C-alpha cells in the first residue's frame, strides 16, 4: 500500500488488516497488534496512541514517533432539502473530491470517491469534464468513511457504502480493495459484503481479478445495449466491448451464491430510451442474473444531453419488468446541491487535459 503523501510519518489508515500485520512483523512485534489497532481506530474512534491502553508503553512511544492516523479533511459541507449531505474533502496538492451521504429511513448510504477526477470520459458525466489527476491512497478512500462517520456522530449511522463517487474504482484496484477490506472487516466497520458495492464502467481484466480477491456487490455502468452507442457514451467500451463485458459479468455472478449484477442505465432523451433500446437491453441481459437501475439524467453546464421524460422512463421500466428483469427507477437525491449521480466534480488539477478534449467534442456536436 502507498503511505499518505501528506506526511513523512506512516499513515496507519493506509493499511488493511493484512497490511498492518506485515507492518508489525517487520518492526519485530506480534501480528495480533493489527487487530488491536484496528479496533481502536475504527470501532473506538481513537487517534491518540496514548489512549490505546492495551498496547505497551514502548510500542505507543514508537507509534507516536513514526506513525500517524490521518484522514482527509472535510472543508465544505452542503445539506440538501431532502437531507442528503455533500462534503468537499481536501486531498492535498490543491485537489478535492466529493463524498455524498444519503439518509433513508432504514439505512444510510455513503458514496465514496476513488480517484481525483476520472480518465474515462463518459460523455454524460459531469465528473469526466474535470479530467484526471491521480489515484487516491487507501487512507484517502477509507478516510472518507472515517471522516463522514465522525461528522455524523451518533446522529446517523453509515450502513452502506457505494464506490460510485469520482473516478473508476477498478483503475485504482489495490487501494480500493484494501479500503473495501477495511469496510467489511469485523474489527473495523463490519459491513456486510452485500452492503458494499463497487461500480465500474467495464474494466474487464480487473472485474475478472476482483472476484478472486474480494467479495462485494457489483454494479456496471452500462447505459447502452449496442457497441456502437456504448462506444460513444462509455468510451472504454472500445477496448472492452459488450461481449467481453457480459462474459465478465456472468463469471462474477457465478463466483458467489445468489449474486446478481446491477446494471446502471442513465436515461437520455432520444439517445437510448426507445422501445427498440429496451428490447436490445432485454436481449443483452438474457443470460446474466440482473437488476437494472434506471437513472434519470442529471444535467450539468455544457451538457449535450437531456433527460428522458417521465412517461418514457416508466414505459422503459415496464418493458424490462414484463420481460422478467427486476427494474427500479433511481430516486434523484441531493439534486439541489449537485450531489446526484454524475454531478460530482470536486476540484481537480487535470493532468490528462481531458476537460479540453471534452469541450472540443461538445463544441463539435453543437456546431
Q: Enumerate the active-site residues.
A: 98, 341
Give residue for cell 430510451: 273
- Determine how many CB atoms are found less than 10 A away from the CB of residue 107: 12
CA atoms within 13 A on the CB side of 112: 33
Q: How many residues appear in the chain?
A: 367
- 261 is written with which cell numbers? 449484477
Do the Cβ atoms of 126 and 343 come closer than 8 Å?
Answer: yes
Q: What whole-number distance in Å separates Cα of residue 350 and Cα of residue 328?
A: 35
Q: What whole-number distance in Å separates Cα of residue 341 and Cα of residue 336?
A: 12
Residues 6+ apart with CB under 8 A from 179: 16, 112, 138, 141, 142
Q: What share of the chain is helix, strand, coil (3-state, %, to 5)?
A: 40, 20, 40
- Determine how many CB atoms are found less than 10 A away from the CB of residue 113: 28
Element (H, E) at 135: strand 132-135
Tell me the angle at which helices 204-213 and 173-184 cross, rounded to the nearest 10 degrees.
30
Do the Cβ atoms of 313 and 319 come closer than 8 Å?
Answer: no
Three-state secondary structure string covering 179-213: HHHHHHCCCCCCCCHHHEEEEECCCHHHHHHHHHH
Residues 6+ apart with CB under 8 A from 221: 122, 199, 200, 201, 202, 234, 264
Amino acid at each position: 500500500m502507498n503511505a499518505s503523501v501528506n506526511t513523512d510519518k506512516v499513515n496507519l489508515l493506509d493499511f488493511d488488516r493484512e497490511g498492518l500485520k506485515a507492518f508489525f512483523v517487520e518492526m519485530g512485534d506480534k501480528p495480533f497488534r493489527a487487530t488491536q489497532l484496528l479496533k481502536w481506530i475504527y470501532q473506538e474512534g481513537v487517534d491518540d496512541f496514548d489512549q490505546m491502553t492495551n498496547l505497551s508503553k514502548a510500542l505507543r512511544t514508537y507509534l507516536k514517533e513514526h506513525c500517524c492516523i490521518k484522514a482527509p479533511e472535510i472543508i465544505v459541507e452542503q445539506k440538501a432539502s431532502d437531507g442528503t449531505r455533500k462534503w468537499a474533502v481536501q486531498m492535498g496538492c490543491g485537489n478535492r473530491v466529493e463524498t455524498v451521504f444519503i439518509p433513508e429511513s432504514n439505512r444510510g448510504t455513503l458514496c465514496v470517491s476513488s480517484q481525483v477526477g476520472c480518465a474515462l470520459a463518459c460523455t454524460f458525466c459531469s465528473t469526466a469534464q474535470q479530467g484526471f489527476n491521480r489515484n487516491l491512497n487507501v487512507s484517502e478512500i477509507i478516510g472518507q468513511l472515517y471522516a463522514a462517520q465522525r461528522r455524523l456522530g451518533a446522529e446517523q449511522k453509515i450502513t452502506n457504502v457505494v464506490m460510485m463517487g469520482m473516478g473508476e474504482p477498478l483503475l485504482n484496484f489495490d487501494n480500493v480493495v484494501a479500503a473495501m477490506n477495511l469496510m467489511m472487516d469485523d474489527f473495523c466497520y463490519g459491513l456486510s459484503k452485500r452492503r458494499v458495492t463497487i461500480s465500474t464502467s467495464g474494466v474487464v481484466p480487473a472485474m475478472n481479478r476482483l472476484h478472486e480477491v474480494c467479495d462485494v456487490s457489483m454494479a456496471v455502468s452500462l447505459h447502452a445495449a449496442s457497441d456502437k452507442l456504448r462506444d460513444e457514451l462509455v468510451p472504454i467500451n472500445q477496448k472492452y466491448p459488450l461481449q467481453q463485458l457480459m462474459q465478465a459479468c456472468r463469471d462474477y455472478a457465478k463466483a458467489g451464491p445468489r449474486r446478481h449484477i446491477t446494471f446502471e442505465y442513465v436515461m437520455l432523451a432520444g439517445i437510448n430510451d426507445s422501445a427498440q433500446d429496451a428490447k436490445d437491453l432485454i436481449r443483452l441481459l438474457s443470460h446474466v442474473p440482473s437488476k437494472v437501475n434506471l437513472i434519470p439524467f442529471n444535467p450539468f453546464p455544457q451538457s449535450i444531453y437531456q433527460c428522458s421524460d417521465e412517461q418514457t422512463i416508466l414505459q422503459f421500466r415496464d418493458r424490462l419488468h414484463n420481460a422478467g428483469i427486476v427494474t427500479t427507477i433511481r430516486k434523484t437525491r441531493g439534486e439541489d446541491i449537485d450531489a446526484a449521480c454524475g454531478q460530482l466534480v470536486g476540484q481537480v488539477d487535470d493532468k490528462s487535459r481531458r476537460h479540453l478534449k471534452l469541450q472540443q467534442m461538445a463544441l463539435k456536436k453543437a456546431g
